[in-house]
Amino acid sequence: MSRELLHLTVAAIVYFEHKFLLVEERDKLTGQRVLNQPAGHVEQDEDLLGAVKRELFEETGLTLEPSAWLGISQLKAANGHRYVRLNIVFEPTSLPAQYQPQDSDILALHWYSATELLQAALPLRSRLVSDAISLYTQGVHLPLSLIQPTR
């Protein structure tokens, strides 16, 4: 019996002054410019919170501390791969004057309100982005203590 590989990923929901931080990148399959959360795979020997903080820094240049999480999302992508994503919330009270992506795959950073995002010129990379923002705006905030540290 063959087992299908699951990709374990983390994504940041950064909410500041009533707007969400999204990254502009190219879809690896289509080459189309899309909007996504700062996100990526959990690397070997990396814990979940460490992974999302690393991805956030690589894709935005920001070093922030998480405040909550939204839960687990699942997706079977167009390429046939299955993804499991943990959405981690960051709600900074201030940001540095300057910050920029460290990863050359990130084309730009954008701040959108939930309403503005519905009218954005670029499409979302996947439904996981809109699902996470919807959960956040509905008030879903799970305590980080539910994510057990690596032992």
Strand partners, 57: none
Taking only the tens place, the pLDDT of each residue in 102-125 is 999 999 999 999 999 988 999 999
Q: 66: domain range?
A: 6-92+104-146
CB 144 within 8 A of CB 52: no
Judged against a pLDDT cut of 90, whether residue 89 lies above it is answered with: yes
Strand 39-41 and strand 106-112: pairing? Answer: unpaired
- The encoded tokens of residue 54 equal 């690393």
Indicate whether 150 pLDDT > 70.
Answer: no
Are 87 and 13 within 8 A, CB to CB? yes
Supply 78's token pair: 């167009």
**Residue 13 covered by a domain:** yes
Query: Global pTM?
Result: 0.92
Residue 1 has pLDDT above 70, yes or no: no
At residue 4, the pLDDT reads 72
Whether 137 maps to a domain, the answer reads yes
Give me 138's structure tokens.
């509905």
User: What CATH number does the domain containing 82 carry?
Assistant: 3.90.79.10
